Amino acid sequence: MAGPAPFVDMGKKAKDLLTKDYNFDQKFTLSMLSSTGMGLTATGLKKDQIFFGDINTLYKSGNTTVDVKVDTYSNVSTKVTVNDVWPCSKAALRFRIPDHKSGKLDVQYLHPHAAIDSSIGLNPTPLLELSATIGSKEISLGGEVGFDTASASCTNYTAGIALNEPDFSVALFLTDKGQALKASYIHSVNPSTTVAAEMTHRFSTYKNSFSIGSSHAVDPFTVVKTRFSDNGKVATLCQREWRPKSLITFSAEYDSKAVNASPKMGLTLALKP
């Protein structure tokens, strides 16, 4: 459906270029998908000297998707998604075991000129969240609000506007209850090179922060990304598709303000047989 993107996706392209796939630990992922709609993903992450892992199973049948994840601490996370509950909508129920207060119901409605997302916690004092965008695929205006019924107060409210063209996208947000202004921009310089930037200005402290980055396709199977932030951190990654849908990614980050610290390096291997 060619309509406005959900509010959570406004500015997502720029954010993904600046953050996605950067990993400064050792990570391994194995994904398998059968023709019957059953999928299995095993993930392992070594951070410092601690190992984390989880096994995720995904089952699709008709309009229903069931996603179950079990981690190394025996926590079980479950998400049940039903598409087309009514036309142009979907609903998702999620919960974690043994946390009996973690239940949440999400409902999304997409229209050629609007996108609405709502979420409510399934407990006696739930957190309510609502976001909406109106407009078109090219230009949209939206906002989101969170309300805590326990304290009868707004936890956050944000407003934003986005403009999308074939070769660039720009988004402007008023965030943190009106305390900060955030802008993001992404531009496709040519078919192989893309640049992006994010900047935040806080009204209370007059402080500015920013990140700029680029992505360049060296060849059809290799991508190199770079990122520089106002805090002095410089990062880069090289991602190679060494076989269909299987990726190996090397990331590195150097903090120019921590002269005695060693650069961070990470390796990610994602296999899809």
The predicted pLDDT at position 136 comes to 93
* CA–CA separation, 120 and 29 (whole Å): 32
Residues 12/13/19/23 CA torsion (nearest 10 deg): 110
Q: Which of 44, 54, 1 is nearest to 23 (CA)?
A: 44
With cut-offs at 50, 70 and 90, classify the pLDDT of residue 1: low
* pLDDT tens column, 61-96: 889 999 999 998 889 999 999 998 888 899 999 999
- Residue 74 included in any domain: no
With cut-offs at 50, 70 and 90, classify the pLDDT of residue 139: very high
- Residue 91 included in any domain: no
* pLDDT tens column, 34-60: 877 789 999 999 988 889 899 999 999
Q: Which residues pair with 129 in a beta bridge?
A: 119, 146
* CA–CA separation, 103 and 94 (whole Å): 6
* pLDDT tens column, 261-270: 889 999 999 9
For residues 51 and 45, the answer to whether their CB atoms sit within 8 Å is yes
- Residue 26 included in any domain: yes
Q: Which residues pair with 52 in a beta bridge?
A: 45
Indicate which CATH number applies to the domain containing 28.
2.40.160.10
Q: How far is CA 208 from CA 215, 228, 271, in A?
A: 24, 14, 40
Q: How far is CA 93 from CA 77, 80, 81, 138, in A?
A: 11, 5, 6, 31
Average model confidence (pLDDT) for the chain? 93
The predicted pLDDT at position 196 comes to 97
- Residue 107 included in any domain: no
Residue 218 lies in domain? 7-33+43-49+117-271
| Domain count within the chain | 1
The predicted pLDDT at position 74 comes to 86
Q: Indicate the pairing of strand 222-229 with strand 127-135.
A: unpaired
Q: How far is CA 124 from CA 50, 77, 104, in A?
A: 36, 20, 12
- Residue 256 included in any domain: yes
Give the side-chain half-sphere CA count within 13 A for 203: 9
* pLDDT tens column, 194-239: 999 999 999 999 999 999 999 999 999 999 999 999 999 999 999 9
The predicted pLDDT at position 258 comes to 85
The predicted pLDDT at position 86 comes to 85
- Residue 111 included in any domain: no
- Residue 89 included in any domain: no
The predicted pLDDT at position 73 comes to 86
- Residue 207 included in any domain: yes
